[in-house]
Amino acid sequence: MCNTGWLKRMLPFLAAFALGVFIASFFVSVGPRFGLNDQRMKRFQEMQRLRFENDQLREENDRLRNKLELRGMDTEDQYPAWAPESLDAPMPPPLPKPAPRVAK
Q: Could you tell me the residue ranges of all domains in the chain?
A: 37-72
The set of residues, in sequence order, having a beta carbon less than 8 Å from that of 68 and lying 6+ positions away, is 74, 75
Written as tens digits, the pLDDT of the chain (104 aa) is: 567 787 888 899 999 999 998 998 888 876 677 766 778 888 999 999 999 999 999 999 999 989 888 887 655 555 555 555 555 667 778 888 888 887 76
Structure confidence at residue 1 (pLDDT): 52
* Rounded distance between C-alpha atoms, residue 64 and residue 87, angstroms: 20
pTM higher than 0.85, yes or no? no
Structure confidence at residue 84 (pLDDT): 54
